[in-house]
Chains A and B, each alone.
Chain A
Amino acid sequence: MKRIFLLFLLVSAATYAQKEMPNVSLKSDGNKTFNVKNDFAKKDKIYVFTFWATWCVPCINELDAINEHYADWSKEIDMEVVAVSIDDTRTQKRVKPLLNGKKWPYTILLDTNQDLKRALGIANVPYTVVVKNKKVVYVHNGYSQGAEKELYNKLKQL
């Protein structure tokens, strides 16, 4: 069994990285349906999908930190932050008051059954996926204080 497992690992290392966003539809906080592949596809626009949860402190710090610069960044770069909440029904009701309380201007998607999280192979949040022209162009795992600056530098290069 162990050997099969290792073999699998090697094989997957050789396969090419994921290029397109998966074809998953999610509801927004306003109960509208968005397809993450086709509804975030304006030409040359950069979509920053940040995976978060109301109970995840670094996630909230990241979204707060991005928010402090969001107006400036948006002026320089054609970009949009899509905050995908992986909260399950236990905490999902807290999403809306929290984002308003924090004045977050982001598009919020609710991945309650964690379909998108699973389709992207994400183990834990925070996790950032940057999409341009329907292709995943950058991913980052985790958040530490100040990492939003490095994200911004990355976005400028795309």
Chain B
Amino acid sequence: MKKLLFPILALTSGSLFAQETDTITQQTDSVYVPEKTELRVYGGFESNVQWYLNDKERNLQHPEDPLRSNNYYLLNYNYGRWTGGMQLEVYEKNALLNYNPGFKGGGLGIYYLNYKSDRIDATIGHFYEQFGSGLLLRAWEDRALGINTALRGARIIFRPSDNIRLTALYGRQRTGFNVAHGDIYGFDSDFSLSSLLGFETSDLSFGASYVGRYEKIDMPDPPVNELTNTFAGRISFSHNSFYASGEYNYKQKDVLLNALNTLNYNFIKPGSALLLNFGYTKEGLGIDLTLRRMENMGFLSERTPTSVGDNISTSLNFNDKIINFTPALTKQHHSNLANIYVYQAQSRVSFVDPTIMMSGETGGQIDVFYDFAKGTTLGGKYGTKIALNASSWYNLPGQYRFNPSEYDTNFFGVGKNYFTDVNAEIKKRLSESWLTAFYYIRQYYNKEWLQGGEAVKTHIVTAEATYNFSPSKSIRFEGEHMFADADFKNWAGGTVELNLNDKYSIYVWDIVNYGNDDKNRRVHYYNFGGAYRIGATRVAMNYGRQRGGLVCVGGVCRFVPESTGFSLSVSTAF
């Protein structure tokens, strides 16, 4: 490790300049840049520190190693067409609570070397990639979720013309500081026909991809191919204000998991996913509809998830060794209470018990954005913006049998409702100094099927007002209430945020589960903190109570346990 780092360190301190290698064709009014290739060093640093404390009221003991931190240091060197880089990661003393246990200690998480010209983009080492909408392959990083599924191997992207892109790759997926056993082979193609057909106001493109996962099966004559092949085709079209796209994915038959996350060699099925999107937009109006049906679309680097030793969690709980990306297609709300019941997409076959048997999900989401223009009755002096959104997701309809496990689904129709969310948002500026917003959310969360527990129906109302003292000094108030008919019942909450200028802000918020049937659980979850921003740097500090549950970013969730304590996060780029 050290051997590798030192030559790189030596490079950092020297600044290298070389001469005239690249000639860039310039547009006539473009800037003339002296034709000199210089060494460019860039990257970023991020640190998230937590100090966990005991909390008597909630009867919480801080974990072993109360002071924990996740640190990421990304460093890249670019010289002409060559770029090399790495990400150093340190988890000391241990990673934050409930992160993938593979993130332990420190080391080189990512390293790569890349060559890029107008036509060729070639990488060896780690790389991030996504084919189409990611339903077959997405290698990505999300630090807040503790996801890093970069592929380690080689990738080449070839652009024979501006309208064609071909990608071929091979790699193994990163897991912790290692890689998974499964070999991933991928090929993707993207064709844009607009310029070929001479379209001016229209766009037509299509693509096809292949992803194969090879993992040896330790038995003579395995019932399925050791190499699982998946295929996808996609098309996208837009004409003036209208657009539409579709994608179909197919996964060859493979062995499924039983309730204990071990392979059931008598339960073998293929998988498929269909994604359709339609929209109409013009100035002041936007409508978007997405429909998706996924059946048995769990796709893992290793067929059997790794148990982490506590007899409950496996690598699946940490979104680890997952090849594809199947996010929940629902609106991501920003109010605290609207994030208590969040939906996670059900792409996998999951037979929990003889009453709860899931083979995937089907459903859709619609969004409407509208702007009432300034000077109209509803628009008033400053205009009024509204956003409506609804989504509903269901199990696939069909016949299910628990033992021996079997299912047969219908393509159309819906099964048991997992989740429904209908919401409206109105934003209105009242004067130069007052900006207000109102949100109403209606949710149904089938906790019984999704997590175990009681299904719950909620109404959430939120009102928000921002007052500007001066152009850059403002205060924001937010009040929210959730009416829930089951589970933890009612909640109320409030936030006050003060922005002193573009550098400093402080906030305090509190939510209280005052309606809980269990009196001991009617506790306040208070938080206060502040942030300082300058240039590319942001420093934020917080003290408060973390509610246990799912923390979701972009439709992918991570379970966090209850905790109380201080947190500090620092990020910067250079």
Q: Is B554 an interface residue (CB 8 A)?
A: yes
Give the distance in Å from the alpha carbon of A115 to the alpha carbon of B162 in the complex: 19
A139 → B minimal CB distance (Å)? 5
- Expressed in whole angstroms, the minimum distance between the Cβ of A99 and any Cβ of chain B is 8
**B194→A31 contact, CB < 8 A:** yes
Note all chain A residues with C-beta closer than 8 A to B5.
Answer: 4
Question: Which of B24-32, B94-102, B208-216, B449-457 is the contact stretch?
Answer: B24-32
Contact assessment for A144 and B74 in the assembled complex, using a CB-CB cutoff below 8 Å: no
Mask for B492-510, Cβ within 8 A of A = 1, else 0? 0000000101100100000
Residue of B nearest to A35 (CB): B118
| Set A12, A20, A100, A147: member contacting B45, Cβ < 8 A | A12
Q: How far does the Cβ of A31 sit from chain B's closest Cβ, in whole Å?
A: 5
- Give the most central of A11, A123, A139: most B CB within 10 Å: A123
| Cβ 8 A contact of A93, one of B45, B290, B332, B534 | B290
Kindly name the residue among B43, B194, B279, B470 whose own CB sees the greatest number of chain A CB atoms within 10 A: B43
Smallest CB-CB separation from B569: which chain A residue?
A: A123
Q: Are B73 and A9 in contact, with the CB atoms below 8 A? A: yes
B interface, over-half SS = strand
Q: Which of chain B's residues 515-558 have a Cβ closer than 8 Å to chain A?
A: 531, 533-538, 554-555
Measured between alpha carbons, how far is A139 from B46 in the docked complex, in Å? 17
Stretch from B49-57, B295-303, B322-330, B403-411 forming part of the interface with A:
B322-330
Q: Which of B8-16, B251-259, B261-269, B393-401 contacts A (4 or more CB under 8 A)?
A: B8-16
Once the chains bind, are B279 and A97 in contact (CB under 8 Å)? Answer: yes
Cα of A97 to Cα of B132 in the assembled complex, Å: 20
Known contacts: A5-B88, A89-B134, A144-B505. The answer to whether A100 contacts B283 by CB under 8 A is yes
Question: How far, in Å, is B265 (CB) from chain A's closest CB?
Answer: 33
B226 interfacial contact with A, CB 8 Å: no
Tell me how far the C-beta of A156 lies from the nearest C-beta in chain B, rounded to whole angstroms. 14
Q: A43-B31, A89-B133 are in contact. Are A22 and B78 (CB under 8 A)?
A: yes
The reply to whether A121 and B44 form a contact with Cβ atoms under 8 Å apart is yes
Whether, in the assembled complex, A150 has its beta carbon less than 8 Å from a beta carbon of chain B, the answer is: yes
Using known A-B contacts A91-B554, A122-B44, A123-B538, determine if residue A144 contacts B90 with beta carbons closer than 8 Å: no
Once A1-B105, A2-B92, A31-B236 are accepted as A-B contacts, the answer to whether A140 and B283 lie under 8 Å apart by CB is: no
- Determine the chain B residues whose CB is within 8 A of the CB of A120 once the complex forms: 42, 44, 573
Contacts A101-B286, A113-B129, A140-B536 supplied; 17 other A-B pairs, CB < 8 Å: A1-B105, A1-B106, A2-B90, A4-B5, A11-B12, A11-B13, A19-B40, A96-B288, A100-B282, A101-B368, A121-B43, A124-B538, A133-B31, A139-B536, A141-B537, A142-B531, A144-B505
30 A–B contacts from the bound complex (CB under 8 Å): A2-B106, A4-B88, A5-B106, A12-B45, A12-B75, A15-B13, A18-B574, A22-B78, A33-B162, A55-B334, A55-B554, A88-B554, A89-B325, A90-B329, A93-B288, A97-B279, A100-B281, A101-B370, A101-B385, A121-B42, A121-B44, A121-B536, A122-B573, A142-B533, A145-B435, A145-B474, A145-B476, A146-B468, A147-B502, A149-B471
